[in-house]
Amino acid sequence: MTGIVAVLECRAVSKSFGALLALNGVDLALREGEILGIIGPNGAGKSTLFNVIAGLERPTSGTVYYRGCSMSGLPTHAVCRMGIAKTFQIPRFFPRLTVLENVLVAGLYGKGAGLREAQREAEEWLNFVGLVDKAGSPAAKLSISERRRLDLARVLATGAQVILLDENMAGLSHNEMEAAVSLVRSVRDRGKSLMVIEHVMRAIVGVADRVVVLNYGEKIAEGSPGEVMRDPAVINAYLGEAYA
Ligand SMILES: Nc1ncnc2c1ncn2[C@@H]1O[C@H](COP(=O)(O)OP(=O)(O)OP(=O)(O)O)[C@@H](O)[C@H]1O
Ligand SMILES: [Mg+2]
């Protein structure tokens, strides 16, 4: 990556929980405007990687850089204000607030925007994810696919330039997934850079420019979706013989 400063870079990032090494010396870089897929078996450390990047967990060693600046020790709200926001593997929202209010809260928290600006932007993002019709409904009433889109609207409303999506397409039907894939691509078209964790290979192939594969906390492969899917180490650790 000579001459190009990555938007986000992890250098030798490790995270242990007691005796368990959830991340072991992970190096990776997210380029400007890129969609980077993160795949690997259950327990490989994917969500832990996102938690470390987002400041929810401190790395045991190693450093995360945002546009070349170390983010070591920054709490999650500071990381968010710098421009990095993530969804949770299990969507988190305020069930009794309306859909619009949920997005509004994210805008107020993430950007420290004024109420008017946050309100205008919340409506814009709801329109972008196709939830304008539900703006006044309690969030608890949303379907799975609507909750995923609410989650996306909330991270976008923070104003973050780097968006981390943790299995945001899990549990969607075929058609919903196709729609979700094009929605994620249109997020990138708005100038964002994304890291996307997904187990469904069809989603990863549809969305990712490049893929990093984790296994037992280590990066075992990196490349285009086609390259990693043909990689014997990846087939062996994750995809199984059906892909071979
Ligand atoms: N807060 C924690 N305390 C202790 N162990 C943890 C904690 N968070 C994660 N782990 C462990 O770290 C390992 C990596 O977990 P992680 O959630 O990052 O995996 P993952 O790749 O996201 O898996 P999945 O595909 O199932 O979501 C697992 O063994 C998990 O049990
Ligand atoms: Mg996970």
pLDDT at 1 over 70: no
- From the CB of 47, is ligand 1 less than 6 Å away? yes
- From the CB of 46, is ligand 1 less than 6 Å away? yes
Distance CA 34, CA 194 (A): 6
How far is ligand 2, taken at its centre, from the CA of residue 47, in Å? 4
How far is ligand 1, taken at its centre, from the CA of residue 20, in Å? 10
Hey, what are 90's tokens? Answer: 């299990």
Distances 189 to 4, 33, 118, 146, 186 between C-alpha atoms, Å: 20, 8, 22, 21, 5
Binned at pLDDT 50, 70 and 90, residue 109 comes out as: confident
- From the CB of 12, is ligand 1 less than 6 Å away? no
Binned at pLDDT 50, 70 and 90, residue 77 comes out as: confident
Distance CA 230, CA 237 (A): 12
Minimal-distance CA residue to ligand 1 atom 25:
42
How far is ligand 2, taken at its centre, from the CA of residue 45, in Å? 7
Minimal-distance CA residue to ligand 1 atom 7:
17
Distance CA 139, CA 62 (A): 38
Q: Which residue has the higher pLDDT, 206 or 89?
A: 206
- The class level of CATH for 1-83+162-244 reads alpha beta
Task: Provide the whole-model pTM.
Answer: 0.94
- From the CB of 22, is ligand 1 less than 6 Å away? yes
Q: Which ligand 1 atom is nearest residue 44's CA?
A: 21
- Report the alpha-carbon angle 130-208-127, nearest 5: 10
Domain ranges in the chain with CATH number 3.40.50.300? 1-83+162-244
**Chain centroid to CA 213: how far?**
15
Minimal-distance CA residue to ligand 1 atom 17:
47
- From the CB of 17, is ligand 1 less than 6 Å away? yes
Q: What is the pLDDT of residues 146-197, one digit of tens each?
A: 999 999 999 999 999 999 999 999 999 999 999 999 999 999 999 999 999 9
Distance CA 168, CA 178 (A): 13
Instruction: Name the residue of 13, 15, 20 whose CB sits within 8 Å of the most ligand 1 atoms, as the mutation to test its pocket.
Output: 20
